[in-house]
Structure 1
Amino acid sequence: MKKSAAYWIWTICLAPLIFLAVVWQKLPGRVPMHYNINGEADRYGSKNELLVLIGILFAVNIGTYLLLSNIHRIDPKKKYTAENLPVMKRFAFIITFFMTALSCFIIHTTLHAGSGFNGKFVVALIGLMIAALGNYMYNIKPNYFAGFRLPWTLESEENWKYTHRLAGRIWFVGGLVLTVLAFFLSEKAGFNVLMIITAIIVVVPTVYSYRFYKQNLNK
């Protein structure tokens, strides 16, 4: 079972490099390397520069997966090692899948440079990632690497539990809302909504956690 999971992870991580190798000869000499808020290319580079970018994303992808999958080995809170491991691996898979999809999208956009950059797809993809992470967030046990690692959540298991129960719901709903809105709004409006929803899903659980801490402190 472990070998099968490792096989799929490596296959997913290597997919962008394989995709790039397949379309390499079809890519133009100068490729767009940066886009403005309207999806228009404002900087060009060589194909080798694109290769370096995809290589960096591949390294980050593998590094993130290995880190999240082995956090239990270095986390000082050893009490929940066994319970956190399956959740961390799900988190690692979700982020790995997102990074791979983003890398393949970059290659596809470069191959069809004339059609511009579809920022709506990126916003929708981020929304799906947020929703997927939120779906498992309530299962996270106290640790120093993932979740809302605030002084008062790390000190209180009850605070951690209720904070992540709320955060999981907000992230799931917020991610789905962002995904749907991405297809109905302009690219600029979609990125603005992304910033607003990101602020909400971070600030609301943080404030809730602090108020929970203060109320119990007074008691």
Structure 2
Amino acid sequence: MRRNEPRGRLLALTLLILGAALLAQVLGGLAGLVLLGAILLGVVWDLARHLEDLTDLPADSPKWKPLRWVTAFDAALVLVCVGAALLAETGHLPWTEAGEQYFAAALVLAVLLFLGNLAPKLPFSRHTGLRLPWTVADEDTWTVAHRLVGYLSFPLALVYLAGLSLTAQFEVLTLGVFLLWVGVPGLLSYLYFRRKWIP
């Protein structure tokens, strides 16, 4: 019961985000951005307030620190993205196509390096991290997946930086790097899970 209430609220807020994203497209402009940003921050704030209700960690566990850092990073990412969009919408930040790509690339690198560094330190959880059916079913598989995420982060960040100067296909490069970052740990952890649990 202690966990069901925050879980239900997070699910409701997630559905609200989907609705707000559609409504933001209809409203357009400042109203849509403010609405979507407020709801996203509300979800992150609610998650931060109820981390203890969503995990099995004891109150004095050192593993709380990476969980709180990830939640704070999520909030900062929302603020930066919504803030930049608001500044662009009001004309205070005149975007060029190159400027948009540099901004997006900086966000991608921040996600790769910051979350990649924290990934091996994240405790087993159903709410933060690489949440795949097999990683949330087994703590050892969770550990394998998140160590792989951590090992891949810095090399993929270097590949991404090099790729930015070598190709004009920014979207393809970004998608490819993220697919490798999530896909390789996902696949290898699945094989580990099968080997451990399926005869």
1:131 is matched with 113
Q: Counterpart of 2:37 in 1: which secondary structure? A: helix
The correspondence for 2:38, drawn from 53, 56, 59, is 59
After superposition, the C-alpha distances for 1:51-89 in whole angstroms (9 at most, x for unaligned) are 2133124313422431331343432x4146644432221
Name stretches of at least 5 consecutive residues in structure 2 with no aligned partner: 1-25
Cα distance, 1:163 vs. partner? 1.6
The correspondence for 2:173, drawn from 175, 193, 196, is 193
2:16 is matched with none
Closer, same or farther in 2 for the Cα pair 1:57/1:181, shift >3 Å? Answer: farther
Question: Aligned residue pairs: how many?
Answer: 170
Aligned 8 A contact 2:141 2:192 in 1: yes
How big is the alpha-carbon RMSD for the aligned residues of Structure 1 and Structure 2?
A: 3.0
Aligned 8 A contact 2:30 2:86 in 1: no
TM-score by length of 1: 0.64
2:128 is matched with 146
Which stretches of structure 1, 4 residues or more, deviate above 6 A after TM superposition? none
Aligned 8 A contact 1:68 1:88 in 2: no
Asked if 1:119 corresponds to 2:100, the answer is yes
Query: Comparing both chains, which one has the higher relative contact order based on Cα–Cα distances under 8 Å and sequence gaps of 6 or more?
Result: 1
TM-score by length of 2: 0.69
1:157 is matched with 139
Asked if 1:204 corresponds to 2:184, the answer is yes
The correspondence for 2:68, drawn from 89, 97, 106, is 89
Equivalent-residue separation in structure 2 for 1:185 and 1:108 (angstroms): 29
The correspondence for 1:68, drawn from 33, 38, 47, is 47
Aligned 8 A contact 1:69 1:92 in 2: yes
Equivalent-residue separation in structure 1 for 2:43 and 2:58 (angstroms): 21
Which amino acid is the alignment partner of residue 210 of structure 1? Answer: Y
Which amino acid is the alignment partner of residue 78 of structure 2? Answer: M
Equivalent-residue separation in structure 2 for 1:182 and 1:57 (angstroms): 30
Equivalent-residue separation in structure 2 for 1:79 and 1:115 (angstroms): 44
Q: Counterpart of 1:136 in 2: which secondary structure? A: helix
Equivalent-residue separation in structure 2 for 1:171 and 1:64 (angstroms): 26
The correspondence for 2:152, drawn from 161, 170, 173, is 170
After superposition, the C-alpha distances for 1:5-33 in whole angstroms (9 at most, x for unaligned) are xxxxxxxxxxxxxxxxxxxxxxxxxxxxx
Closer, same or farther in 2 for the Cα pair 1:197/1:217, shift >3 Å? Answer: same
| Amino-acid identity (%) | 19
Q: Counterpart of 2:83 in 1: which secondary structure? A: helix
Which entry has the higher C-alpha Rg, 1 or 2? 1
The correspondence for 1:102, drawn from 71, 78, 81, is 81
Closer, same or farther in 2 for the Cα pair 1:184/1:103, shift >3 Å? Answer: farther
Aligned 8 A contact 1:124 1:178 in 2: no
Equivalent-residue separation in structure 1 for 2:93 and 2:193 (angstroms): 52
